[in-house]
A and B are shown apart, each in its own frame.
Chain A
Amino acid sequence: MPSVIKEFTKGLWDELPPFRVVLGLCPTLAVTSTAENGLGMGAAVLFVLTLSNAIISALRKIIPGKVRIACFIVIAASLVVAVELLMQAYTYSLYQRLGIFVPLIVVNCIILGRAEAFASRNGVIPSIADGLGMGLGFTMSLTFLGALRETLGNGTVFGIPVPWEAFRPAHLMVMAPGAFICLGLILAGMNAFNRHMSRRKGEIPTEPKNAACASCAACNLCATARKEN
């Protein structure tokens, strides 16, 4: 049981998509112009991710290794069609606003990533916990990003105006560049917070000292990294 709780909670902060595990950026950047859109997209991904994790881990023994990706996509696609029909039936206006990004959940990196990295190697109960945690983390992140962009760019949160008369919303924030700027600020803020926490605990920060090394992964090819080690 403790391991199930651990699988569930890791998606809420330690491996929070898309801010810690920078996967699934296409819907993150594209649909989060309002908090409501972010919440709807997150809920759709939560549904698909939990069920696809459950089905894939139940079928993991009979899925042949060579065609596993195709099998994962077939399972995810069936679930996405189900979500699409449900959204058409109950939240048609949200479905129209999200547009092409609902069908695109099929090829969302988080779905495939969790299927490949977790569900195809673990039992059904941990996989469901993993999918629920990751999906909830994704939903919260998208809602937060959407609320931030909606506040700055439109002066409303979930359609309710912010209580500040003189505020002039910056329309750029609900346009495409605003998504990149907000995402970058949130990533920087989370990195700064984590570094601060690890320093308070007395751990040595894991980031390399050199600023140029932080954004580069080619350590084994690099003279600077060799010198530092």
Chain B
Amino acid sequence: MIHPIIKAMSDNPVRLVVSPPPHWRSGRTIQGMMRAHLLALVPAAIMAVAIYGVQAAAVIGMAGTAAVAAEVVCLRLQHRDVNVDNFSAFYAGVLFAFLLPATAPWWLAAIGGVVTIALGRTVFGGFGCNPVCAPLVAWAVCRFSWPDAMDIDLNLAHFMANSPVDQLKYFGVQSLSQFEYMDLLTGHQIGGLGSSQVLALAAGGVYLIASRWTRLFIPVSFLAGVAGAAALFWFIDPTAYADPIFHLLAGSTVFGAFFLATDTASSPVGRLPQTVFGLLAGTMVIVIRVYGVYPDGVPFAIMVASLLSPLLDRLRPKFFGVR
């Protein structure tokens, strides 16, 4: 008898066996996990509102609301229980909003929120089944569809700062002397409205790791991959390539490390696979920033690495006695 593969939230009429007590209940729920993740995003959201004004809050709210509404419609259409109160759709929508420029029009945030849920998650089977981080799917769709509305430099030109990754791409390493590392750290750089608040995001990420919702392997190896690959290029020619600290602080590197790469459904399980996944994604960031056409390579790097995660899941210890 071949047992069918039970996927999360599939319609398989499989009866789960309940064993007799005593039970050990961990108390961990999806609701609690998502609440902790949202709490970790709060400092970055506050920083975004402080720097870009209320319009940043409007974009976050629009994307989150659209994502929740899309989730309700999708679950209704599939005749499933409407469980949007577990915040997972809202969290995905907020993650998408963090990648937008603060001046994004309302329809862009709304369409992105809907695409996050409909195209990023529902078509693959709902929460927990997405092969690629759902907010990044929406980011890519919007980036290709409306490049002028998504362009960071173009939309935020009235701010008295520059986007560090765009400066590096278009003006070379000599133009980077205008950036103080302390300014980059405290979010005084132009970028996605939440994804450029480096210090606030790092604080949120450390909270997630300390409260054990996220394991250490992906964020650390992601940052190590970015730093290592950047250091390699920097040692080859310091006049042509930016130094590793710049790459760690510029763009959405920290956001990607703590919040996008650690997406539970699209990242591998296990220590070694997670470490390799993080190193691959981090290295890809630098490869895209050096050779690619996109200034901030983080979204595409994580999407490419996510596609490898079923393969990386095979990196596991052999059974005892098996050759």
Q: Contact residues of A with B, CB < 8 Å?
A: 168-173, 175, 177, 181, 184, 210-212, 222-224
- Output the least CB separation between A175 and chain B (Å): 6
Closest B residue to A211 by beta carbon equals B11
In the complex, which residues of chain A have a beta carbon less than 8 angstroms from the beta carbon of B4?
Answer: 212, 223-224
Instruction: Indicate whether B57 reaches chain A with its CB closer than 8 angstroms.
Output: no
25 A-B contact pairs sorted by A residue (CB < 8 Å): A168-B107, A168-B146, A170-B146, A171-B144, A171-B145, A171-B146, A171-B147, A172-B141, A172-B144, A172-B145, A175-B144, A177-B141, A177-B144, A210-B11, A210-B12, A211-B10, A211-B11, A212-B4, A212-B7, A212-B11, A223-B1, A223-B2, A223-B3, A223-B4, A224-B4
Given contacts A168-B146, A173-B145, 18 further A-B contacts (CB under 8 A): A168-B107, A168-B149, A169-B145, A170-B141, A170-B145, A170-B146, A171-B144, A171-B146, A171-B147, A175-B144, A177-B141, A210-B11, A211-B11, A212-B7, A223-B1, A223-B2, A223-B3, A223-B4
In the complex, which residues of chain A have a beta carbon less than 8 angstroms from the beta carbon of B123?
Answer: 184
* Alpha-carbon distance between A170 and B141 when the two chains are bound, in angstroms: 9
- Output the least CB separation between A224 and chain B (Å): 5
* Alpha-carbon distance between A87 and B147 when the two chains are bound, in angstroms: 36
- Interface residue tally for chain B (C-beta within 8 Å): 17
Interface residues of B in 137-193 (CB under 8 A from A): 141, 144-147, 149
Instruction: Indicate whether B203 reaches chain A with its CB closer than 8 angstroms.
Output: no
In the A-B complex, list the 5 residue pairs whose CB atoms are closest, starting with the nearest: A170-B145, A172-B145, A172-B144, A223-B2, A211-B11
State the majority secondary structure of interface residues on A.
Answer: helix
Instruction: Indicate whether B119 reaches chain A with its CB closer than 8 angstroms.
Output: yes
In the complex, which residues of chain A have a beta carbon less than 8 angstroms from the beta carbon of B7?
Answer: 212
- Output the least CB separation between A98 and chain B (Å): 23
- A212 and B119 contact, CB distance less than 8 A: no
* Alpha-carbon distance between A169 and B149 when the two chains are bound, in angstroms: 12
In the complex, which residues of chain B have a beta carbon less than 8 angstroms from the beta carbon of A223?
Answer: 1-4
Closest A residue to B105 by beta carbon equals A168
In the complex, which residues of chain B have a beta carbon less than 8 angstroms from the beta carbon of A211?
Answer: 10-11
Interface residues of B in 1-50 (CB under 8 A from A): 1-4, 7, 10-12
In the complex, which residues of chain A have a beta carbon less than 8 angstroms from the beta carbon of B145?
Answer: 169-173
Known contacts A171-B146, A171-B147, A223-B1: A181-B10 contact under CB 8 Å? no
* Alpha-carbon distance between A14 and B123 when the two chains are bound, in angstroms: 26
Closest A residue to B145 by beta carbon equals A170
- Output the least CB separation between B24 and chain A (Å): 32
- Output the least CB separation between B116 and chain A (Å): 15
Closest A residue to B2 by beta carbon equals A223
* Alpha-carbon distance between A210 and B10 when the two chains are bound, in angstroms: 9
- B119 and A222 contact, CB distance less than 8 A: no
Closest A residue to B146 by beta carbon equals A168
* Alpha-carbon distance between A223 and B146 when the two chains are bound, in angstroms: 47
In the complex, which residues of chain B have a beta carbon less than 8 angstroms from the beta carbon of A181?
Answer: 119
* Alpha-carbon distance between A168 and B145 when the two chains are bound, in angstroms: 9
* Alpha-carbon distance between A222 and B2 when the two chains are bound, in angstroms: 8
In the complex, which residues of chain B have a beta carbon less than 8 angstroms from the beta carbon of A172?
Answer: 141, 144-145
* Alpha-carbon distance between A175 and B119 when the two chains are bound, in angstroms: 16
Interface-central residue, B1, B12, B123, B145, by most chain A CB under 10 Å: B145
Closest A residue to B111 by beta carbon equals A170
Closest A residue to B5 by beta carbon equals A212
In the complex, which residues of chain A have a beta carbon less than 8 angstroms from the beta carbon of B119?
Answer: 181
In the complex, which residues of chain B have a beta carbon less than 8 angstroms from the beta carbon of A168?
Answer: 107, 146, 149
- Output the least CB separation between B76 and chain A (Å): 15
In the complex, which residues of chain B have a beta carbon less than 8 angstroms from the beta carbon of A175?
Answer: 144
Interface-central residue, A168, A169, A184, A222, by most chain B CB under 10 Å: A168
* Alpha-carbon distance between A173 and B7 when the two chains are bound, in angstroms: 31
